[in-house]
Chains A and B, each alone.
Chain A
Amino acid sequence: MNPSPGQTVGPFFHLGLPIDGGNELVPSADPGAIRLHGRVLDGGGNPVPDAVVEIWQADPDGNVVREAGSISRDGWTFTGWGRAATDPDGHYWFSTVEPGPTETGRPPFFAVTVFARGLLDRLFTRAYLPDPELFGADPVLSALTPERRATLITIRETRGLRFDIRLQGESETVFLSYPGQRQSWA
């Protein structure tokens, strides 16, 4: 069956998509919490203030989480999923924990989805933890030039990780296609 076409989230998604606490996979006050954050930028280097970023990640031991509760957070259940809208500076943030590797020896990453007004379909990417010694074992990272690879790697900061998303132009983020949707790009 042909997949239904995507369409932009448009300018009014704040009506339907944002969730209270949606960006707090663990409470930001939790001493073990880290901040994953960054800016969404367009091809002119301008902030994208009407974007939505979603992350989906393993827990710190590399387990895929099968827990409900992302919409009504109880402060205790780690669901592995979060959603954040960008602010007027194009900035988004999540409070979370670092994912572990789902396969031994492979570099852990956050799976990331990006939506925005002006973006006609969602984009997929990955935000890898900055563990360069593991990058050689990763088929995606090893297939890219160093400049392109760098767009997929988070930058470690005090209590957090930074991941900017550039939709277009110089240092454009590497976006991904999976076998299920490759025909979409034909």
Chain B
Amino acid sequence: MDTQADINAEIAARAGEKGSQPRLDYPPYRSSVLRHPHHEPEPVDPEGVELWAPVFGHRDVGEAEADLTNRHPGEPIGQRMTVSGRVLDGDGRPVPGQLVEIWQANAAGRYWHQRDQHPAPLDPNFSGAGRCLTGPAGEYRFTTIRPGAYPWRNHVNAWRPAHIHFSLFGTDFTQRLVTQMYFPGDPLFDIDPIFQSVTDPKAREALIAAYDHELTEPEFSAGYRWDIVLTGSHRTLFEEDPA
């Protein structure tokens, strides 16, 4: 198995390649080798359903689902956090009333998942999944626990920086995004091939939340702000909902 030094050398060889999105062909992330297309994507103009996104409503998502700390009788272990921000399209317009889903490890870095068997404790009071609908200004807000870093098997002694997985929809099907939010100053950034698959350092910054004291709640939770920008909408502002 490769060492961290091998992976670091591969990361360094690709560093600085331009582009706002991850390289799909990024061998330092070993699982990507057989799972990325060789062909360039075919450029198409969106049509029909692609110009619209699925609709989610309050029948789909309860208010309580935005609080990951209240899903069990007891309090989860760890630092309570408020994570909030806005979902915007590429032109800076808010995406209102749309679904945001998150999942994450617990404070010890363990996922509530059969596949995560590393020797860190599960927390009986934290399962680590939540969802909400954005408000009129595209805003979302979750109450959760700060996740821990955790080991994985990409190479010997591989560790992932702490992160929260985010799944997002826009106003168009073509804006669908799944990504990860990271925490400022994480010492594991430089050695993580998933984070470094976004080879442009400027683009990587967009994945890092900012500590925000305005969001911090007295004697309750630490506040982190993270805005998410989707690609541009292909519809004009004046297009009405179809009948």
Binding site for B on A (CB under 8 A): 1-17, 42-44, 46, 48, 54, 56-58, 62-72, 79-81, 99, 101-103, 106, 109, 111, 113, 115-124, 139-140, 143-144, 167-169, 172-186
Contact = CB atoms under 8 A, between A and B. Distances in A.
Interface stretch (B74-82, B107-115, B214-222): B107-115
Given A2-B20, A5-B198, A5-B204, A180 B34 contact: no
A2 B57 CA distance: 28
A113 B204 CA distance: 23
What DSSP secondary structure best describes chain A's contact surface?
Answer: loop
A24 to B, nearest CB: 15
A56 B207 contact: no
B36 A120 contact: yes
Contacts of A181: 21, 174, 231
Interface residues of B, number: 88
Given A7-B207, A58-B48, A64-B48, A167 B34 contact: yes
A13 B34 CA distance: 20
Contacts of A185: 19, 21, 40-41
B61 interface: yes
Contacts of A10: 165, 180, 194
Contacts of B229: 1-4
Contacts of A11: 113, 115-116
A174 to B, nearest CB: 5
30 contacts: A4-B177, A4-B228, A4-B229, A7-B165, A12-B113, A15-B111, A16-B101, A16-B128, A16-B131, A43-B33, A43-B35, A48-B35, A56-B50, A58-B48, A67-B55, A68-B56, A68-B57, A101-B48, A106-B48, A119-B35, A144-B42, A168-B34, A173-B37, A174-B42, A179-B46, A180-B175, A180-B232, A181-B174, A184-B21, A184-B231
A109 B105 CA distance: 37
Contact of B230 (A4, A70, A72, A144): A4
Interface string B189-206: 000001101100001101
A113 B127 CA distance: 26
Given A70-B56, A120-B22, A180-B233, A3 B90 contact: yes
A119 B36 contact: yes
Contacts of A99: 49
A177 B38 contact: no
A177 B44 contact: yes
Contacts of B51: 64
